[in-house]
Amino acid sequence: MQERLAESILSGNFHIAEDIMNQTDFLEFEEIFISACHKSESVMYYTFILEQMKKEETVELHDLAFLLLVYPLCEVNGAFHSAYYHAERAVYMTDSKEIKNLLQLLFLYTVPNPVLSDREAFDTAQQILSIDSNNQVARKLMQKAAKQLDQVVIDIKDFNHYKNA
């Protein structure tokens, strides 16, 4: 099935890939899809997901797009920023109630050039902890973000030019 999926995606025959997706349990499809993308590292897989979203935007498709962008396609310029978009959409579509989607956002704080600011990471971790107070990932990253936020020191002299404004 993986070879047939890869052939259909890479040749642009998305209707065949869509049939495979519709006839397969989505988690199984996701695993096969990501594995196939790992082999070729082609952005055609991402294009397929975008085509599917044009038909029906779902949290599952945003999750799959996120996974493609942070794993097999992570070397593509802007991949983490695009992954941020998909994580944000999934969080929005689930009313910020799904820990998995919030953790996707928080993951983007751990990459070499973080996509999330310290404040966004802190707030996201706080949201996760309000749902699951025992979540160790959120707790550790919240502490890291808090330390970074505490290091922000403002020199009052920087504001002197405002005193006569």
pLDDT tens digits, 72-111? 999 999 999 999 999 999 999 999 999 999 999 999 999 9
Residue 165 CA, distance from chain mean position: 43
> Residue for token digits 């956002």?
105
Do 135 and 129 contact (CB within 8 A), yes or no?
Answer: yes
Which pLDDT score, from 0 to 100, does residue 139 have? 95
Which pLDDT score, from 0 to 100, does residue 161 have? 45
pLDDT at 154 over 60: no
> Identity (one letter) of the amino acid at 113?
N
Non-local CB neighbours of 138 within 8 Å, separated by 6+ positions: 102, 103, 106, 124, 125, 126, 128, 129, 132
Percent of the chain with pLDDT over 70: 91
Look up residue 106 and give its two tokens. 């928080």
> Residue for token digits 């699951």?
132
